[in-house]
Amino acid sequence: MRTYLMAAVLSLAATAVSWGFDYGRYPAADLDDVLAEKRPSAGADIHPIPPLRLTVTLASYGEPCDAAFLKKSMLMAGIAKDRVDTMPVISCVKVRSAKGKVVTVFIQDPVAASLPKEVPLGRKVSLFAIHVFTTPDGPGLLVNEFFAGGATVAGTGGGCGCGSAQVHTGTDYEAPKGTPIPVSADGVIVKVETDEHAMVDTSDAGWCGRYVVVRHSYPNGRSAFTRYAQLGRLVGNDGKPLKAGMHVKEKYKIGEVGSRGEFHFEIRPADPATMDTSAYWQRHYGVDPAMEWSKYPPVDPAKFNADVFGGKAEAK
């Protein structure tokens, strides 16, 4: 019988959430670089809808604006007419770039409605946008999603933000607030992130709010990390705060579901063949042993066989 490392987590009988937004399509970009791109002297340049993830400061909430040219440009760029006609875009927001330039961008209505609930004016926010056109006045950007701290966008189908949907870092589960989350196997806690606005700036980690990382070691010398994210209280069975270095047994309480009513679970096998050896990772996280987990890519929790990985069984 195949034994999966996530068996204890699944015992919560939580419901997996299927997220439709493809965060992986949106590479990080700098708004100032976009603003510096060449502009036409007249008319407009229609772009092939390149996706962008822009970290900016929110300067205003949704304000009415005319999206007629935006939709016309999307049609010219090859977007299906039925999608364009039904796309709810009647407002814009103002954002400030790193160099202080204020830019007006289009935003889908459900996303605009969520901004005041999640992001105070003057706070940084990551916008997942597409570059539709450029005029002499600047770029025409349409925001399809956002992340601020560990927050999600209510009603837009966005995940918890831990990585991308394309290489989703794990599985998201729904459960009532306060539900205890059990650790999936014996291990040692290596990271306790208590900051609700914590982020890890790698393509497959994302904004995950409060989280706990546990390292699991196997007889064959291998190890794997599990991460439990978007949590509420980070307490153990005794109600006391968790600490790095603690040894925990399978099913030990690793924290509680927070007010969002969901949590995120992922598995990252420590495999030298797949680890991030980039200068970027080394510069940002190489000096912090507690961040070692972030250099290993996640795997599908439903397909990870701990017995095979740890040498207790052979793959069939």
For the segment 286-304, the average pLDDT, to the nearest whole number, is: 90
Amino acid identity, position 215: R
Residue 306 has pLDDT above 50, yes or no: yes
CA-wise closest residue to 140 among 80, 87, 66: 66
> What pLDDT does residue 294 have?
93
Tokens 């949704």 — which residue? 62
Residue 7 has pLDDT above 70, yes or no: no
Residue of higher predicted confidence among 240 and 47: 240
> What pLDDT does residue 32 have?
94
| Most distant pair of Cα atoms in the chain: their distance | 68
Burial class from Cβ neighbours inside 10 Å (0-12, 13-18, 19+) for residue 200 reads buried
The CATH classification number of 7-19+160-309 equals: 2.70.70.10
For the segment 104-130, the average pLDDT, to the nearest whole number, is: 88
Give the three-class secondary structure for 259.
Answer: coil
Residue 71 has pLDDT above 70, yes or no: yes
At 134, the pLDDT band (50, 70, 90 cuts) reads very high
Check: CATH 2.40.50.140 for 23-147? Answer: yes
CA-wise closest residue to 152 among 264, 28, 63: 264
Residue 196 has pLDDT above 80, yes or no: no
Residue of higher predicted confidence among 68 and 171: 68
Amino acid identity, position 271: D
CA distances in angstroms from 306 to 4, 38, 68, 135, listed in the order given: 6, 52, 54, 54
C-beta neighbour count of 251 within 10 angstroms: 17
C-beta neighbour count of 76 within 10 angstroms: 12
Amino acid identity, position 135: T
List the chain domain ranges. Answer: 7-19+160-309, 23-147
Domain 23-147 in the same topology as domain 7-19+160-309: no
Q: Lowest-pLDDT range, 78-92, 220-234, 300-314?
A: 300-314
pTM attached to this predicted model: 0.56
